[in-house]
Amino acid sequence: MNYDDSINWLNNFQKFGIKLGLNRIKYIINELKNPHKDYKIIHVTGSNGKGSVCNYLSSILIESGYKVGKYTSPHLKNINERITINNKNISNSDFAKTTQKIKKIVEKMISKNEEPTYFEILTAISFEYFKNRRVDYAIIEVGLGGKYDATNIVNPIISIITNISLEHQNILGKKISDIAEQKAGIIKEKVPIFTAAKDKSLQIIKIIAYD
């Protein structure tokens, strides 16, 4: 599988759209021997400013001498932009090589009538690539919401919710409180949470954080 083959194969999964839930990504990651446990993770969600926060954090850690992976979305020109180490995009050869490994796992899933999504596969590619390149930190941006997003299998050292506004209401809920609950789903026990949320959203985050 070369780079073009890997992109064409991955693009076939866009037809499955958005399917929230963690069972599929957990299966892939377990088959990969849990690569996301080999480095420290900072998990970022919110309605606005996620990308900027990820970039700021990455720059700070790089300047401090660390090797830093960053997984964000969407991309502007090519998919390699989503997966970087010290601000350098994943190479075409590394993308193809990592995709080939995950393709074998996905084929097992398909044989069981369980098709993962485009984003789930890409998330697995990033986790595996960061492990192979032995990063110290990985900054992981949530794709959509938080609670049922594919990235939410991580156990980060820090969780960040930038802010919360009405968005993707057909998926995350009609009310700001519904969306806040989804975003706050990234909160983990004994993991510090930082947020710029206000008013009702902040109240919900506090309730979930202290529950």
- Range name among 14-18, 135-139, 196-200 with the lowest pLDDT average: 14-18
Assess if CATH 3.40.30.10 describes domain 3-210: no
pLDDT in tens, 35-83: 999 999 999 999 999 999 999 999 999 999 999 999 999 888 999 999 9
Q: Is the pLDDT of residue 210 over 90?
A: no
Top-confidence residue, 98 or 113: 98
Q: Is the pLDDT of residue 172 over 90?
A: no
pLDDT in tens, 116-159: 999 999 999 999 999 999 999 999 999 989 999 999 999 999 99
**Full DSSP string of the chain:** --HHHHHHHHHGGGGG-----SHHHHHHHHHTT-GGGGSEEEEEE-SS-HHHHHHHHHHHHHHTT--EEEE----SS-GGGGEEETTEEPPHHHHHHHHHHHHHHHHHHHHTT-PPPHHHHHHHHHHHHHHHTT-SEEEEE-SSSSTTSGGGG---SEEEE----S--HHHH-SSHHHHHHHHGGG--TT--EEE---HHHHHHHHHHHH-
Q: Is the pLDDT of residue 92 over 90?
A: yes
Q: Is the pLDDT of residue 11 over 90?
A: yes
**Predicted local distance difference test score (pLDDT) of residue 111:** 93
**Predicted local distance difference test score (pLDDT) of residue 169:** 83
